[in-house]
A = this chain, B = another copy of it.
Amino acid sequence: MNRTWNQYVVKQENKTLVLSTIIDQTPISRASVAQVTGLNKGTVSSLVSELIDEELVEESGPGESNGGRRPVMLLFNGKAGYSLAIDLGVDYLLGAIIDLNGNIIYEEKRQLQSTDFDVVFPFLTRFINHLMEQVPKSRYGIIGIGVGVPAVISHQGEILLAPNLNWKKIKLKEQLEQQFNIPIYIENEANAGAYGEMRYGFEQMPKHMVYASIGIGIGVGMILDGQLYNGLNGFAGEAGHMTVVKDGRTCRCGNLGCWERYASEQALIDEAVDRQLIEHNQVEPFQKLIELANQQNQAVINLFEEIGTYIGIGLTNTINIFNPEHVVIGNQLIDAEQWISPAIGAYINKHAIGFHQNDLKISFAKLQAYSTVRGMAAFTIEGFLLKQRNA
């Protein structure tokens, strides 16, 4: 059955429009909302009064007069509820409590000793319980739990494959829903990072953005026409497994010459070991390499440049395919920005189709290590506001 349009839908849509105008342009007066949205002043008044009843909007003091009666300024109430977001990494959990404005109000990081799911899951639920105790009292309480995982995830929130965690077919969403009576969101870490960067990383939300999460592996989150693109089954973005070297290195995925075999943190480390720049059993090899580069070790600097060039190759491909406005590089490799950035820029500049470079901006994640948690929070917040609207 298709969606029909009637007066209820009209009201919902307009209410959403008013609320998002207030969120984006807070503080703002009723009159300005009416002008910006094109809605009638009376309509705005009535919708705002409902939003105030729902405690999603607050009146602050009077604003500056524009030559007449002083306006009553409206604020979005970011403290009406809180999101609980987790970045589940290969060897850590980063948890955060995030308000409706997307600001982190509490964070905590824990190391994981094992990737065994039977170890990780109880650890995770205990961590969530601990975080819940830190959440301030509020009208709507904890509006959702979001977990970002470096994995292929179905629309149903099932982890189909997480190669670096060695997980397969794990119904994480279902299992968490059984433990907590709160909406659960599970997403791919790169998708979450892309979403976080889009929502909170820019003055003006970009419409077309490619976010390359370069860590142990490479995942790509795509914002197309302002929306996260998921593909048919939710598996889109496995650009780490596009072939950039025909008959190249074999990859876990079964393909040859995959991008992530040349441009990821793992590729960097493998190559460094191969070239005897670090020991095979080096602890924190990535940090060590950055240290060496900082000490002007030329061989290491050259290696970073090579990795940068390979990153450039893959990014050039995505640029030619998508014609994005922004390309954002995130995850672990942002710590090597100064060593890889020039090579990336040079390669793209020389090889991407000229037109695509016109309005293109390339940057490193502005939210740094928080792209994923803030993205997961954005998903839960959006879900909450949507449910609120339809209530």
**Which residues of chain A in 284-338 are interfacial with respect to chain B, using CB atoms and an 8 Å cutoff?**
313, 316-318, 320-325
How long is the Cα–Cα vector from A227 to B355 in the complex, in angstroms? 23
Q: Do B241 and A320 touch across chains, with their CB atoms under 8 A apart?
A: yes
**How distant is A57 from chain B, measured CB to nearest CB, in Å?**
18
The one of B231, B232, B323 that contacts A235, using a Cβ cutoff of 8 Å: B323
CB pair A239–B321 under 8 Å, yes or no, is yes
Does A238 have its Cβ within 8 Å of any Cβ on chain B?
yes
The residues of B that contact A391 with a CB separation of less than 8 Å are none
Quote the shortest CB–CB distance from A211 to chain B (angstroms). 13
Is the beta-carbon distance between A17 and B36 smaller than 8 angstroms?
no
Roughly how many angstroms separate A42 CA and B366 CA in the complex, as a whole number? 54
- Residue pair A255, B208 in contact (C-beta under 8 Å): no
Q: How far is the CA of A234 from the CA of B227 in the complex (A)?
A: 17
A1 within 8 A of B: yes
Q: Known: A38-B2, A235-B323. Contact between A152 and B241, CB under 8 A?
A: no
The answer to the question of A233 belonging to the interface, with a C-beta cut-off of 8 Å to chain B, is: yes
A253 proximity list for chain B (CB < 8 A): 353
Contact partner of A317 (CB less than 8 A), chosen from B10, B242, B316, B323, is B242
| Interface flag for A182 (CB, 8 Å) | no
Are A2 and B37 in touch, CB under 8 angstroms? yes
Interface membership of chain A positions 32-75, coded 1 if the CB is closer than 8 angstroms to chain B and 0 otherwise: 00001111000000000000000000000000000000000000
* Given known A-B contacts A243-B313, A321-B239, A356-B235, A7 and B7 have beta carbons under 8 A apart: yes
Interface centre among A39, A238, A256 (most CB of B within 10 A): A238
Pick the contact of A350 from B248, B254, B313 — CB < 8 Å?
B254
Indicate if A13 sits at the interface (CB-CB under 8 A).
yes
Cβ-based interface call for A14 (8 A) = yes
Contact A354 B254 (CB under 8 A): yes
Q: B324 near A232 (CB under 8 angstroms)?
A: yes
* Complex Cα spacing A39 to B5, Å: 9
Q: Is residue A203 within 8 Å, beta carbon to beta carbon, of the partner chain?
A: no
Determine which residue in A229, A253, A325 has the highest number of CB atoms from chain B within 10 A of its CB, and name it: A229
User: A220: which B residues are within 8 A, CB to CB?
Assistant: 321
Q: Are A225 and B235 in contact (CB-based, < 8 A)? A: no
Q: A113 vs B118: C-alpha distance in the bound complex, in angstroms? A: 71
Q: Mark A148-189, 1 if CB is under 8 A from B, else 0.
A: 000010000000110000000000000000000000000000
Q: Which residues of B contact A359 (CB under 8 A)?
A: 232-233
Question: A351 an interface residue at 8 Å Cβ cutoff?
Answer: yes
Name the residue in A1, A233, A254 with the highest tally of chain B Cβ atoms < 10 Å from its Cβ.
A233
Rounded to whole angstroms, the CA-CA distance of A2 and B19 in the bound complex is: 13
A379 to chain B, nearest CB (A): 17
Measured CB to CB, the nearest residue on chain B to A233 is: B323
Chain B residues near A5 (CB-CB < 8 A): 9-10, 13-14, 17
Interface pair B160/A355, CB less than 8 Å apart: yes
Closest 7 CB pairs of A and B: A231-B323, A242-B317, A235-B323, A255-B351, A5-B10, A236-B323, A5-B13
